Amino acid sequence: MKNDSNSRRKFLNNGLKAGIATVIGGIGLSKMATKLNAKTDGKKVELMTTDGHLVEVDASEIIEEKTTNSKSYTVREGFKNKKFVMVVDLAKCKNALKCVSACNKHHYITGKNAWLKVYKMQESKDTAPYWMPTACQHCDQPACVTVCPVDATFKRRDGIVLIDNNRCIGCRFCMAACPYSTRVFNWSEPDQGDITLNLSMEQETQPSPEHGGLPSIKGTVDKCDFCPHEIKKGKLPHCVAACPNGVFYFGDKYEDTVTNGDETLRFSKLLKDKSGYRLMEGLGTEPSVYYLPPVDRLVDFEKGLKQYDEYQSVKKSE
The count of other CB atoms within 10 Å of the CB of residue 152 is: 22
Q: Rule CB under 8 A: is residue 76 a binding residue for another protein?
A: no
Using CB under 8 A as the binding criterion, the count of chain residues that bind another protein stands at 54
Minimal distance, residue 210 CB to another protein, in Å: 19
7, 13, 196, 264: residue in contact with another protein (rule CB under 8 A) = 7
80, 172, 253, 297: residue in contact with another protein (rule CB under 8 A) = 172
Minimal distance, residue 190 CB to another protein, in Å: 10
Minimal distance, residue 119 CB to another protein, in Å: 6
75, 171, 195, 299: residue in contact with another protein (rule CB under 8 A) = 171
Q: Rule CB under 8 A: is residue 161 a binding residue for another protein?
A: no
Instruction: List the interface residues with another protein, window 79-118 (CB under 8 A).
Output: 112-114, 117
Instruction: List the interface residues with another protein, window 275-304 (CB under 8 A).
Output: 280, 283
What is the Cα 254 distance to its own chain's centre?
A: 14
Q: Residue 152: helix, strand or coil by DSSP?
A: coil
Torsion over CA: 250, 100, 187, 311 (sign):
positive
CB 76 within 8 A of CB 152: no
58, 61, 189, 191: residue in contact with another protein (rule CB under 8 A) = 189
Q: Rule CB under 8 A: is residue 6 a binding residue for another protein?
A: yes
Stretch that binds another protein, among 86-94, 102-110, 183-191, 267-275 (CB under 8 A): 183-191
Minimal distance, residue 252 CB to another protein, in Å: 27
Minimal distance, residue 199 CB to another protein, in Å: 22
Minimal distance, residue 107 CB to another protein, in Å: 15
β-pair partners for 84: 252
What is the Cα 58 distance to its own chain's centre?
A: 37
15, 26, 28, 179: residue in contact with another protein (rule CB under 8 A) = 179
Q: Which one, 186 or 257, has the nearer CB to another protein?
A: 186
Q: Which one, 145 or 214, has the nearer CB to another protein?
A: 145
Minimal distance, residue 44 CB to another protein, in Å: 49
3-state per-residue secondary structure call for the chain: CHHHHHHHHHHHHHHHHHHHHHHHHHHHHHHHHHHHHCCCCCCEEEEECCCCCEEEEEHHHCCCCCCCCHHHCCCCCCCCCCCEEEEEECCCCCCCCHHHHHHHHHCCCCCCCCCCEEEEECCCCCCCCEEEEECCCCCCCCHHHHHCCCCCEEECCCCCEEECCCCCCCCCHHHHHCCCCCCEECCCCCCCCCHHHHHHHCCCCCCCCCCCCCCCCCCCEECCCCCHHHHHCCCCCHHHHHCCCCCEEEEECCCCEEECCCCEEEHHHHHHHCCCECCCHHHCCCCCEEEECCCCCCCCHHHHHHHCCCCCCCCCCC
Q: Rule CB under 8 A: is residue 141 a binding residue for another protein?
A: no
Amino acid at 199: L
Instruction: List the interface residues with another protein, window 216-255 (CB under 8 A).
Output: 218-220
Q: Rule CB under 8 A: is residue 10 a binding residue for another protein?
A: yes
Q: Which one, 184 or 241, has the nearer CB to another protein?
A: 184
List phi, psi (to 5°) of 229: -65, -25
Minimal distance, residue 295 CB to another protein, in Å: 21
Residues near another protein (CB under 8 A) are 1-4, 6-7, 10-11, 112-114, 117, 119-121, 134, 143, 146-152, 167-173, 175-177, 179-181, 183-189, 218-220, 280, 283, 309-313
